[in-house]
Amino acid sequence: MELTNRPRRLRSNPTLRKMVRETRMDPSSLVYPMFVTEGSNKKEEIPSMSGQYRYSVDRMEEKLIELQNAGVSSVMLFGIPEEKDACGSGAYAEDGIVQKAFRKAKEACPGLYLIGDVCMCEYTSHGHCGVLKGQDVDNDQTLELLAKTALSQVQAGADMVAPSDMMDGRVAAIRQLLDANRYENVPIMAYSVKFASSFYGPFRDAADSAPAFGDRKTYQMDFHNRREAKKEALLDVAEGADLLMVKPAMAYGDLIREIKDLTNLPMAAYSVSGEYAMVKTTAAAGFIDETNILCEMAVSAYRAGTDIYITYFAEELAKCMKEGRIG
């Protein structure tokens, strides 16, 4: 048989396969999302996310060191307060849970890069991502609180802030307040393309942040929309975002690629709680191989254009990358 092209030639040897590999990744691109709770000596497993825990501030250090040893150099912190109120005042309290966690993390592991998720839903009694006017979130009033939240996180030690609320104008509002307080060098990673997704189910269980009524569809995006994703991304670029994010990651690879090609900013993708829980439960049932699947999911996100991968599997992935299993 005279075949001019034999693609299999390049797959014929493992060394060659690695040489021609198109997607390369490194543990420095991983971010681990971590839940911090009030109280002491707590490491509570999250029922819907086996292998993930809520840590009290005094128990954070062991996990942070473990992450660092695994080669994960960045952590995103989520606070779970004891008390919630209508305006989410715990989100921007000087001694709020996440502020205490930032101080502790900075002191315990000064080499770790710390990112703050800026949102109100873990702190509001109604579970929505801002203050309410009637049955809906009041956009402009919420902006002020989000900016205060971002500032308080930075003052407590956050190296970067990541607004996940999906209010219009939040990047500009946060930038303005940070700059006015001489934090002009603190970057903003905007959850620009964040969908109203059922993949967040286990997170809301973890953070006790499910909305008490209704849903988030008046602020998070409709997952049917692609052009609107571009609109959101470009608005955040114009408002001064330094990095952009697509969330969830799995099932949204098309948009990771689209936004990557559209802008010049680094691209983050958040592989969310539902993705994690699906892998964990299916693997526990013996139907899939957990490590192979999490590697394949990660590579698909990177192949789509991800520079920064936020995942509950960060430690496992760092290990797989170091061992050369992927990357």
- Least separation in angstroms between residue 203's CB and ligand PBG is 3
Q: How would you class 207 by CB atoms within 10 Å of its CB: exposed for 0-12, middle for 13-18, buried for 19 or more?
A: buried
Decide: residue 241, CB within 10 A, 0-12 exposed, 13-18 middle, 19+ buried. Answer: buried
The residue nearest ligand PBG at its CB is 203
Pattern 289-308, ligand PBG, x by CB under 6 A: --------------------
Q: Which of residues 232-291 bind ligand PBG (CB under 6 A)?
A: 272-273
Q: From the list 35, 200, 219, 313, which residue makes contact with ligand PBG (rule: CB under 6 A)?
A: 200
Query: Which helix (H) or strand (E) segment is 251 a member of?
Result: none
Q: Smallest gap, in angstroms, from Cβ of residue 152 to ligand PBG?
A: 16
Instruction: Annotate each residue in 106-125 with x if it binds ligand PBG (CB under 6 A) or - if it does not, as one string.
Output: -----------x-x-x----
Q: Which residues pair with 45 in a beta bridge?
A: 53
Pull the structure tokens for residue 52. Answer: 């993930």
42, 204, 231, 303: which one binds ligand PBG (CB under 6 A): 204
Nearer to ligand PBG, 79 or 157 (CB): 79
164 lines the binding site for ligand PBG (CB under 6 A): yes
With CB under 6 A as the contact rule, which of the stretches 9-17, 53-61, 198-206, 225-233 interacts with ligand PBG? Answer: 198-206
Strand blocks (E) in 256-318: 267-271, 308-311
Q: Is 321 in the site for ligand PBG (CB under 6 A)?
A: no
Helix and strand counts by DSSP (H, E) for the chain:
11, 12
Clarify whether 230 is annotated catalytic.
no
Nearer to ligand PBG, 60 or 162 (CB): 162
Respond yes or no: is residue 194 known to be catalytic.
yes
Angle in degrees, CA 263, 186, 74, rounded to 5: 85
CA dist 137 and 283 (Å) reads 39
- What distance in Å separates the CA atoms of residue 247 and residue 251, rounded to the nearest whole number? 10
Q: What whole-number distance in Å separates Cα of residue 281 and Cα of residue 116? A: 28
List residues with catalytic annotation: 194, 247
Positions touching ligand PBG (CB under 6 A) are: 117, 119, 121, 129, 164, 200, 203-204, 272-273
